Structure 1
């Protein structure tokens, strides 16, 4: 298969996948969650299977334990977090108003430092920024809720997701073997290499990124609650959950925390404002230098700008399902793009035509011609 045909096949496959996702987007949520859960639990099922337990029983045991753990966490956290989320949404306009009043107290100092015209410009810019930020957050939340978190989808996730995950765990090895049997014999090793890279990248997305999100949720929620920040548990969980988007989780959590901290602690307990600031600086350091390199590493290998674009684009097209699929599809696209670039750089289109082999050198030195020895004249008898 030529390079051109390979590129056409992969591009066609990608376009067909996006088209099918767009058609079936209203019913995809339980299947996507079920497949992600099966992919996440498959290594545990393999470990239990080595002990001697059959694949069906191992799949059932692992899936039941995983569901019980998720249900237990929800039962413990949902009542408390739900109250804090409702309280934060109710109090957020008041916090914004209090923060603006706090900023108004600093206007005389800013006027003395910047002048009246620049101070008015800064004040107008901040007000416009806050208004646009609140409107954008509301639109994104409404879009996600309308497209993905309907009552039907919620019921489907609760009842269909475990069934999908169980049957995928049950037949995981068979599916991989059937896919391997369908690979073209001439290109089997090359395609296996690409699929192994995709598997490594997906493991980094689902397992590594999921571990990072879990650790950050625990860290931010615990630290902000211990500081005594109002709605610290909800803000910490929100920032941790959104940390799968580069810098977005940190930015949202930091802005909300500092807004609440300034209104709650300033100026009498200003030290707690610095503690909240330190919590986020330490969290960002841990994420960038310890958690992400150790748990995710270079398996995703995607520029953060493209990752954010994929999240916003897929979220706009497919709603909540798009947010779940954006990072895995971006990882797969990155693997295929790197493979295509490697093939392109190894092709004659990039290297140019091969130079013709040089003609063998011909030795043009003519050997000296030896003259025959002179004949002696014969004497006459």
Structure 2
């Protein structure tokens, strides 16, 4: 098969795959979630196999433990979070009014001076500004909550996902061997190398990021509860779980916490500083302990590329897109680095002076 025919074949295959995702995106969620769950749990199954478990018993054991933990969280933590979320949404108008009054009382002259320096002839309606910001946050949380309710209400997600995860986890190694047998013989070593790089990046990032988000969410939630902040559990867990988007989790959690703390504790600067300290310590732990230990320096996903992938896939495919965004970004990153290496080693880069440059380098 000529190079042009091979290129056409792979481009056509990729186009069919993308079309398949776009057409069936409305029903893909439980299958993608099951595949992601099987991928995350496969190393544990391999570990149990090396310690005397058969594959089927390792799979059953892992999924039973996971389901027990999931059901425990669903029935213990979710009702508490739902109650706090409803209360927080009701509290937003009061929060906006109190923040506006606090700003006007303590920073009124400075705000008016800033208004005059900006050349405005009329005063800025800071109450309207704070209210709009609060309404935006409320709308965002409402959409997240409605989406969460929709996900919970989908029977297929609760029923199909464990079934898909069970069969995929049970047959994972045999499926990998079968797919390996389908590789083009002339390029099998190259494809295996690329696949190993993709697996390293995806496994290192996804598994490390999931664990880091859980640790940060627990830390923020417990820290804000100890401080006594209203809705501390909700804000802390939200900040931790959204930390998979670089800087967004910390910024959202910090902004909400400081806003609530100002209204709740003013003028007690010690308590406001305690809320600030929770996020300062969390950011220190994330940057100096969790990221180096859990993610390492070889992940290869730039934060800007990661944010772009999350927003792009999320806008195209919704929650399913968010699930596949990170693996897709990792795959594209590996392929881009491979293409760059091929380009730098080709005559297209070196040109006609390749041999001359090599000789000059030796001299």
**Same fold, TM exceeding 0.5?**
yes
- Counterpart check, 1:275 vs 2:263: no
Q: CA deviation at 1:151?
A: 6.1
Q: What's 2:132 paired with?
A: 131
Query: 1-side partners of 2:10 and 2:138: how far apart?
Result: 36
Query: 1-side partners of 2:20 and 2:290: how far apart?
Result: 35
Q: What's 2:194 paired with?
A: 194
Relative to total residues, which structure has the larger helix share, 1 or 2?
2
Q: What's 2:318 paired with?
A: 319
Per-residue CA deviation, residues 231-280 of structure 1 (Å, 9 max, x unaligned), is 0000000111100001111111011000000000011x221101111111
Structure 1 residues 276 and 342: alpha-carbon distance in aligned structure 2, compared to 1, 3 A threshold: same
Query: 1-side partners of 2:6 and 2:341: how far apart?
Result: 13
Q: What's 1:347 paired with?
A: 346
Please give the secondary structure, in 2, of the residue aligned with 1:292: helix
Q: What's 2:102 paired with?
A: 102
Equivalent pairs counted in the alignment come to 355
Structure 1 residues 6 and 90: alpha-carbon distance in aligned structure 2, compared to 1, 3 A threshold: farther
**Contact preservation (8 Å) 1:3, 1:343:** no
**Contact preservation (8 Å) 2:245, 2:306:** yes
Q: CA deviation at 1:304?
A: 1.3
**Contact preservation (8 Å) 1:208, 1:295:** yes
- Counterpart check, 1:263 vs 2:240: no
Structure 1 residues 43 and 104: alpha-carbon distance in aligned structure 2, compared to 1, 3 A threshold: same
Q: CA deviation at 1:5?
A: 7.3
Moved more, 111-120 or 99-108: 111-120
Q: What's 1:209 paired with?
A: 209
Query: 1-side partners of 2:229 and 2:309: how far apart?
Result: 34
Per-residue CA deviation, residues 290-333 of structure 1 (Å, 9 max, x unaligned), is 21121112343122122111111111111111111111211111
Gaps spanning 5+ residues in structure 2: where? 357-363
Query: 1-side partners of 2:243 and 2:341: how far apart?
Result: 32
Structure 1 residues 190 and 130: alpha-carbon distance in aligned structure 2, compared to 1, 3 A threshold: farther
Query: 1-side partners of 2:350 and 2:142: how far apart?
Result: 50
Q: What's 2:47 paired with?
A: 47
Structure 1 residues 115 and 21: alpha-carbon distance in aligned structure 2, compared to 1, 3 A threshold: closer
Please give the secondary structure, in 1, of the residue aligned with 2:154: helix
Structure 1 residues 311 and 134: alpha-carbon distance in aligned structure 2, compared to 1, 3 A threshold: farther
Q: CA deviation at 1:52?
A: 2.5
Greater relative CO (CA pairs within 8 A, separation 6+): 1
Let me know the Cα RMSD of the aligned residues.
Answer: 2.9
**Contact preservation (8 Å) 1:36, 1:206:** no
Q: CA deviation at 1:181?
A: 1.1
Please give the secondary structure, in 2, of the residue aligned with 1:319: helix
Q: CA deviation at 1:136?
A: 7.2
Please give the secondary structure, in 1, of the residue aligned with 2:299: coil
Moved more, 203-212 or 297-306: 297-306
Query: 2-side partners of 1:25 and 1:4: how far apart?
Result: 31
Please give the secondary structure, in 2, of the residue aligned with 1:99: helix
Query: 2-side partners of 1:12 and 1:122: how far apart?
Result: 59
Structure 1 residues 3 and 356: alpha-carbon distance in aligned structure 2, compared to 1, 3 A threshold: farther
Q: What's 1:239 paired with?
A: 239
**Contact preservation (8 Å) 2:217, 2:240:** yes
**Contact preservation (8 Å) 1:27, 1:153:** no
Query: 2-side partners of 1:69 and 1:161: how far apart?
Result: 15
Query: 2-side partners of 1:69 and 1:182: how far apart?
Result: 38
Gaps spanning 5+ residues in structure 1: where? 358-381
Please give the secondary structure, in 2, of the residue aligned with 1:20: helix
Q: What's 2:333 paired with?
A: 334
Query: 2-side partners of 1:145 and 1:11: how far apart?
Result: 38
**Contact preservation (8 Å) 1:258, 1:277:** yes
Q: What's 1:230 paired with?
A: 230
TM-score by length of 2: 0.88
Query: 2-side partners of 1:327 and 1:309: how far apart?
Result: 10
Per-residue CA deviation, residues 189-208 of structure 1 (Å, 9 max, x unaligned), is 21111000110111123211
Moved more, 122-131 or 38-47: 122-131
Q: What's 2:155 paired with?
A: 155
Return the index of the structure with the highest Cα Rg.
1
Q: CA deviation at 1:163?
A: 0.3
Moved more, 235-244 or 111-120: 111-120
Moved more, 220-229 or 37-46: 37-46
